[in-house]
Structure 1
């Protein structure tokens, strides 16, 4: 049996929060925040203006002080829910677009301050549990709502979760609204790092599960590896371990793909080879895993993943390959279309493995954002420029009449008799729609101007006019706009490099905690589980299905689970038995510098330091007094050293860089 430990702070706060969780007036709090923010922000402000000292002192701080409640962990969730709504309202209410953007920014700033207050007042291990409840606990926006409002507001039917339906977490709302200031804060990163390492464990909430098994929903708790079972199947959803497992799965897929491509020349196209069969089966299981990841939290969250567009592209290529390959094997063995289509997946797969190895690289983060802008602008350009293709195609088949002479225009100019319609149509049909599209494509990329000359065959004035206009708009104007947009996107990401990296790390952490049992089955075993375990769920009861499901998962993954248990017991949480000097190997001359800060000074040294410099008196009289003449932001930074803290706690924090987790 898995044993997970929930730490209490000794005052009963954790039990009281759990007892009052069902009575939290989330619905009332959401509308209270909305009324306050709308009343406070009536003019458009930029983010820099809202963070200025005078607005921060008059608007943000008073609202944060008014809304903060140490016994209500749903405040951050309600603030982020309002931020999401304000951001979506900017497209519906054009008159208040900039004002709603400012209101959304205020909600994020207030949520950051409230979360910071929770962190400052609870900076120990029970405080970590409290912060985790604030960020990853599920809240229902219709809690405490009137029954009529609840009935009318429910628009989506969700999968049954034993009372946890329609619940969302504050961290998910932060990702959806791209609240990078809040996610980059110290309090949020503390929770994200704890969840990523597996120190904080919980049963995540999801929209749809393919193979649901929620017989035992684990509350948010602190994981103790020495008190848990050896084969703990729940460690498979720890984000750090999950990312390694998914990387291993994709590496196997890439190896099978390479073997399939290398050996394709040694086999009959009408026969399915061994490597190709293994690749097809394993990739089908991998595609099932990606589909489960998309529907678990929705495409909006999944799209925040750096390599989501690469996965989607490869899935489309594999789907087309599968259709053609099955058709070849069953109906036309002489055809040879499937494997050539599969060849174009090589740049996708190799790029994807690079993204996996360097997920925190700012170049890949910028590339993900620029690809989104590039695809959006390219789609708009293709839609608009398709009119030139239609115009040239119809001009090829149409002969206009001279309005003055009534004589049809020929390609030699007005007034020259045109050939018979049948003869002209036959001559113009030499250029097909595909050929015209090829001409426009070459003009777009500036490769060849043949299309400008050949369009004179359609009409000596209108044909070249359309082609030259397309060249100006497509090759000059469009590329200039594209370069400007991509440059602006890249500069914004580079200027906020730290927050962008922290945001992507939070996305990886949130997506790494899986709710669906299908993720515990590695490809291609997940396909077998889909056709065996899912029907079994409707035959046996929930308890029996849970025991069977857990047993099968442990049997399939027992070598991996054993390695995880040994690693966590010996390396992650194990305390070093050796004390004293730490040895630093290598040729670095800075080993002693690292060693002197690596251990906390003994008690007599700390007492001597306190006699030399009384930190409490120094902060109270020197630093805080001098801060009276500083800016508001600087005074807030100085308040982080709370004079109310005990001297022993402060001495422990200020010595050797030790931080209480």
Structure 2
């Protein structure tokens, strides 16, 4: 382009037909000035080939960062919204194709390890930036100051894919291969989190393949395997639900029962774990879980109950204590479905319900805001004509009438509309009924139907996206997750002060020792199970330690008429089967 500019400025070459001659000289020549351009090579060289570098595992991360930026730009650059969305989509497609290229060129366990380094290794956007740019970067105080051994401010490509909702990439076979390996614990690594309540970053576990037969029998790192954490969390929630039921059955407004005391201690520890999960990877990532809105609802209900119950115990107010227990009763519609969400996180009904609850909440808040004017009009009208009304309705009564009209439950508000004003009262009620009951509910149903249809249409991508979120959040960095509720409260009270009193090495020793002590039975069971069941030893292995005992060889397929369908794949076929010889 420079040589073209120089030619135009210096030579001002113009043909006889008054057209500019864009050549290196003003002389007419029969040679094509573009004859040396590699047209054929460019045609047959895809864009992926230009981006793909076998030695650079950060390409996917960089493309996803660009996608996130384009998606952000579309919100405040209205004139470039379509262009930004197109660019974001192109970045996701290129990232998927580059990741697939890595998968195709690298097979086996080595290829799996390479893919894991692409998706769960941490990168920093300002990595190796020019010194001038590095000096003008945003203030480091935007991030919590926690030493992580050189891994500060790093983010993984998998996390960027989640926050940018790159569902095409996350549903690809290469990405799901890594997600599945991390979920099962075949790929192990030290996760990178936003902030930890009890940070212990003395040792950084590199991305590697896990060998259960070479690991210690009490391996505390297995507590952060997503599949095992999912089982642990389900059991923890079942215990919480059990204590909640016992508290409600034996509730007593005059005294705090033993069941209620245990429930309060356990629920407080459970909420502490949920709070740690929120701040570890941020609010946006945590709310991608299908049950996040249920946790938020329970947090609000339990916090209100606990504060009222504590205050009632201090002032010895029996009525207030009974009211606190009444508030706790409202948690039942939240806790019971929560267990179903945990057991079936891939169910399309639950995934759709989460998205529809989000849309429903937004539309309801907007409608309440807009319809608040009707309430104020009626409130002021009844105040003006209160002398002519025998029983003046209060704010609660007016709100109740409007709510009934909104959902079409009762028409009492129409009967009393003349009490506000002979003409204006009925007019306001009719307008509210039309806008609220007819127009708003129609828009609400249409919006929720559209949301459900979109999710069902992309069911596979949605399921893979939720599975990636569950896996990414399941690998915990905070040491507080190693302690079961309510022991995590005790760990917070004891270990956090020790963090400032001990060196990093000794704090790590104390933390690991306490983790293994309190989780010894669980870690022993996990170690024994994985040594026998997880990634079987090579078939030629002669050491009896690697062989399954009769207990682990037992299978129930013999009780099924279709048991041979499963059994035929459990026996390794001889080599002559593959060689075609008899």
TM-score, reference length from structure 1: 0.76
State whether structure 2 residue 408 is matched by structure 1 residue 435. no
Question: Which of these residues, 198, 206, 227, is aligned with residue 214 of structure 2?
Answer: 227
Aligned counterpart in structure 2 of residue 116 of structure 1, from 78, 94, 100: 100
Match of 1:602 in 2: 574
Asked if the contact 1:396/1:429 (under 8 Å) is kept, the reply is no
Note the aligned Cα RMSD (angstroms).
2.2
Equivalent-residue separation in structure 2 for 1:135 and 1:95 (angstroms)? 33
- In the TM superposition, what is the alpha-carbon distance from 1:601 to its structure 2 partner? 4.5
Q: Kindly state the Cα deviation for residue 595 of structure 1 after the two structures are TM-superposed.
A: 4.5
The equivalent position to 2:172 in structure 1, one of 173, 179, 185, is: 185
- The CA distance in 1 between the partners of 2:573 and 2:216, in whole Å, is 37
**Structure 2 residue 90 is matched with structure 1 residue 103:** no
Aligned partner of residue 129 in structure 2, secondary structure:
coil
C-alpha deviation, 1:364, in angstroms: 0.7
1:363 corresponds to which of 349, 354, 357: 349
Where 1:460 maps in the other structure, the secondary structure is coil
Asked if 1:348 corresponds to 2:334, the answer is yes
Is contact 1:397-1:428 (8 Å) kept? no
Counterpart pick for 1:472 among 434, 448, 467: 434
Q: Secondary structure at the match of 2:527?
A: helix
**In structure 2, what is the equivalent of residue 629 of structure 1?**
none
2:30 corresponding residue in structure 1: none
2:226 is the counterpart of 1:239 = yes
Moved more, 425-434 or 337-346: 425-434
- What is the CA-CA distance between 1:528 and the residue it aligns to? 0.7
Does residue 561 of structure 1 match 2:523? yes
Per-residue CA deviation, residues 562-613 of structure 1 (Å, 9 max, x unaligned), is 00001101112234759x9x9942343x44445455556533232339x9xx
CA deviation vs aligned residue, 1:412-450 (integer Å, no higher than 9, x gap): xxxxxxxxxxxx447377111111100100000101111
Deviation at 1:513, TM superposition (A): 0.2
Aligned residue pair count = 524
Separation in 2, partners of 1:277, 1:592: 53
Distance 1:234 1:254 in 2: 28
Please give the residue correspondences for 1:30-45 in structure 2 after superposition, counting only pairs within 5 Å.
none
Q: Tell me the distance in 2 between the aligned counterparts of 1:287 and 1:262.
A: 22
Shifted more, 425-434 versus 550-559: the winner is: 425-434
Q: 1:510: Cα distance to partner?
A: 0.4
Q: 2:358 aligns with which of 372, 391, 396?
A: 372
Give the secondary-structure state (helix, strand or coil) at the position aligned to 1:448.
coil
Correspondence for 1:274: 258
The question of whether the paired residues in 1 share the 8 Å contact of 2:291 and 2:341 is answered with yes
Which of 550, 561, 586 aligns to 2:559? It is 586
Residue 188 of structure 1 aligns to a residue whose secondary structure is: helix
Match of 2:132 in 1: 148
**What do residues 434-479 of structure 1 show as CA deviations (whole Å, max 9, x unaligned)?**
1110010000010111112212111111111111111111111111
The alpha carbon displacement at 1:298 in A equals 0.3
1:206 is matched with which residue: 178, 185, 193? 193
Q: Distance in 2 between matches of 1:511 and 1:220?
A: 17
Structure 1 residues 256 and 60: CA distance shift in structure 2, 3 A: farther
**In structure 2, C-alpha distance between the alignment counterparts of 1:59 and 1:324, rounded to whole Å:** 72
Whole-Å separation in 2 of the counterparts to 1:583 and 1:521: 35
Q: 1:474-525 deviations in whole A, cap 9, x for unaligned?
A: 1111111111111111111111111111111111100000000000011111
From the superposition, tell whether residues 573 and 328 of structure 1 become closer, same or farther in structure 2 (CA, over 3 Å): same
Q: Cα offset for 1:64?
A: 1.7
Provide the C-alpha distance between the structure 1 equivalents of 2:197 and 2:406, rounded to a whole number of angstroms. 45
Residue in structure 1 matched with residue 369 of structure 2 by the alignment: 383
Aligned to 1:338: 324
1:73 to 54, 57, 62: 57
Stretch deviating more after TM superposition (451-460 or 226-235):
451-460
Distance in 1 (alpha carbons) for counterparts of 2:342 and 2:180: 19
| Partners of 2:399 and 2:207 in 1: CA distance | 58
Question: Residues 587, 554 of structure 1: CA spacing in aligned structure 2 closer, same or farther, 3 A cutoff?
Answer: closer
Alignment of 1:177-576 (within 5 A): 177-264=164-251, 267=252, 269-335=253-319, 336-398=322-384, 424-425=386-387, 427=389, 430-575=392-537
* SS of aligned partner of 2:46: helix
1:158 aligns with: 144
Q: What whole-Å deviation, never above 9, does each CA across 1:117-156 have from its counterpart, x for those lacking one? A: 0100111101111100000000000012223323333241
**Which residue in 2 is equivalent to 1:418?**
none
SS at match of 2:181: helix
Q: CA deviation at 1:398?
A: 2.9
Distance 1:61 1:229 in 2: 50
What SS class does the counterpart of residue 351 from structure 2 fall into? Answer: helix
Change (3 A) 1:114 1:599: farther
Q: Partner of 1:420 in structure 2? A: none
2:217–2:523 Cα contact (<8 Å) kept: yes
Specify the SS of the correspondent of 2:199. Answer: coil
Aligned to 2:22: none
Normalised by the size of structure 2, how large is the TM-score? 0.87
Q: Distance in 1 between matches of 2:560 and 2:340?
A: 31
Secondary structure at the counterpart of residue 226 of structure 1: coil
Residue 72 of structure 2 is aligned to residue 88 of structure 1: yes
Tell me, in whole angstroms, the C-alpha distance in 2 between the residues paired with 1:496 and 1:124. 30
Q: In structure 2, do the counterparts of structure 1 residues 85 and 503 end up closer, same or farther at CA, with 3 Å as the change threshold?
A: same
